[in-house]
Amino acid sequence: MTTPALRAIGWNSFFEDQLASIDRSSVIIARVSAHHGSEVALYGETGEFRVPVQNAETDGKVAVGDWLVLNATDRRAVRRLERRTLLSRKAAGEEAKPQILVANVDTVFIVSACNENFNLSGIERYLAMTLQAGAVPVVVLTKADLCDDAATLVEQARQLHPQLCVEVMDARRPEEAGVLSTWCGPGQSVALLGSSGVGKSTLANALGAGELTTGRIREKDGKGRHTTTWRSLHLLPTGGVLVDNPGVREFQLPACEDGVEDLFEDVVDIIAECRFSNCAHDGVPGCAVTAAIESGALDERRFANYRKLRDEQSRHARILADRRERERKASGTYKAAIARKRRRREES
Ligand SMILES: Nc1nc2c(ncn2[C@@H]2O[C@H](COP(=O)(O)OP(=O)(O)OP(=O)(O)O)[C@@H](O)[C@H]2O)c(=O)[nH]1
Ligand SMILES: [Mg+2]
Ligand SMILES: [Zn+2]
């Protein structure tokens, strides 16, 4: 049996079931809260502690939010449990590999400010990533106090996905941020995502995560200065946990066909209605997409962003698949070479 302490920080039957064959008295179970060089910080039944894990984050083996099984005697990590949800973006570089941001969160607060940086296509990018992860997105619009018409932005954001929850607030005020506590109850895990300066750490503080450093904003463009520099998981007074993330400047989607198709289900349906095969849907008379844009049923921006995100993720999926195929063939030739060598040895 697990203690309420583990349950409060997200332990549930999905993870419990993975321990069926393990003698529980010989292990410690803990959740990764941060990386510090060659160490990871963990929350366990008895509070926070650190253990060394070599290069764990770089090779994607252990991410913030992961559950680890450690030997009770020497606190060596022996196993990482299978993940329930996984939030990732495309890693920097040409290889198109996914880079894991956070594991095992139930909800993602997609934070965007009601100022000149408000951008629907940017929110859609985070939405695709969140749906792909299997987590529930909630759009949080901050800096409502600096905007004359926040209600219009809320309405625009609501249109992005059926039943999408959108909350708007002055993130500095706990009494306003409190509407988010619905998602922060015992056992719930939430991640904050959004560009630098939108108010992620301010929100975390308002929700009671502790005293995280918040930043100043550049006067000229209202952008942040990358105040938060590492990802960290915090316990909330409401019972759940919250992961604060550094602001992501520009990120690309990893292979995430399901997330994109889910987000743009309406667009996919309209495209399916187009009677022309190989239609470019770019204004030809009779094209279903063109008709939907002209009638106002489909927003031109939304269609353009759908194409952009679809193509981006499929390009990365293809690069990954090609690389896997090359590796498979290379290992095939390697195995064949060993087999030939063995045969020659046996024959001689
Ligand atoms: N007026 C107003 N200011 C806010 C609001 N939310 C955040 N701020 C301010 O915006 C600045 C940046 O906030 P942070 O919480 O550091 O932003 P962040 O998203 O954590 O930024 P990074 O850590 O760089 O990714 C701070 O000066 C906050 O006080 C808000 O709702 N209204
Ligand atoms: Mg921050
Ligand atoms: Zn068409």
In a shared domain, residues 224 and 274: no
Helix (H, G, I), strand (E, B) or coil at 203: helix
Residue 345 and residue 338: Cα distance in Å, rounded?
Answer: 11
**Counting ligands in written order, which one lies closest to the CA of residue 288?**
3
Residue 56 and residue 62: Cα distance in Å, rounded?
Answer: 5
Contact by Cβ (8 Å): 179, 206: no
Q: How confident is the model at residue 55 (pLDDT cuts 50, 70, 90)?
A: very low
Neighbours of ion ligand 3 (CB under 5 A): 274, 279, 281, 287, 289
In a shared domain, residues 111 and 226: yes
Residue 130 or 74, more confident: 130
What lies within 8 Å, CB to CB, of 237 at 6+ separation is 208
Helix (H, G, I), strand (E, B) or coil at 223: coil
Structural domain count of the chain: 3
Could you tell me the CATH number of the domain that includes residue 61? 2.40.50
Contact by Cβ (8 Å): 298, 292: yes
Q: What share of the chain in percent tops pLDDT 90?
A: 69
Is 332's pLDDT higher than 90?
Answer: no
Lowest mean pLDDT among 59-73, 194-208, 232-246, 289-303: 59-73
In a shared domain, residues 270 and 216: no
Contact by Cβ (8 Å): 222, 113: yes
The pLDDT tens digits for 86-125 are: 999 998 887 888 889 999 999 999 999 999 889 999 999 9
| Residue 57 pLDDT | 44
Residue 121 DSSP one-character state: H
CA–centroid distance, 294 to ligand 2, in Å, is 42
The pLDDT tens digits for 122-145 are: 999 999 999 999 999 999 999 999
Helix (H, G, I), strand (E, B) or coil at 347: helix
Q: How confident is the model at residue 220 (pLDDT cuts 50, 70, 90)?
A: low
Q: How confident is the model at residue 226 (pLDDT cuts 50, 70, 90)?
A: confident
In a shared domain, residues 234 and 141: yes
Q: Which of 244, 267, 299 is the last residue of a domain?
A: 244
Structural domain boundaries enclosing 19: 4-80
Residue 281 falls inside a structural domain: yes
Ligand 1 atom having least distance to the Cα of 203: 15
In a shared domain, residues 175 and 297: no
In a shared domain, residues 130 and 183: yes
Across the range 56-85, mean pLDDT stands at 84
| Residue 194 pLDDT | 95
The pLDDT tens digits for 275-306 are: 998 999 999 999 999 999 999 999 999 999 99
Closest residue by Cα to atom 23, ligand 1, is 228
Residue 248 DSSP one-character state: P
Q: How confident is the model at residue 56 (pLDDT cuts 50, 70, 90)?
A: very low
Is 229's pLDDT higher than 90?
Answer: no
What lies within 8 Å, CB to CB, of 192 at 6+ separation is 108, 109, 111, 200, 203, 204, 242, 243, 244, 245
| Residue 154 pLDDT | 98
Residue 93 has phi, psi (to 5 degrees) of 105, 175
Contact by Cβ (8 Å): 184, 190: yes
Q: How confident is the model at residue 60 (pLDDT cuts 50, 70, 90)?
A: low
**Counting ligands in written order, which one lies closest to the CA of residue 217?**
1
Ligand 1: residue of 214, 243, 249 to mutate (most ligand atoms within 8 A of CB) is: 214
Binding-site residues, ligand 1, Cβ < 6 A: 142-143, 145-146, 170-172, 194, 196-202, 214-217, 224, 226-228, 246-247
Is 62's pLDDT higher than 80?
Answer: yes
Could you tell me the CATH number of the domain that includes residue 95? 3.40.50.300
In a shared domain, residues 225 and 131: yes
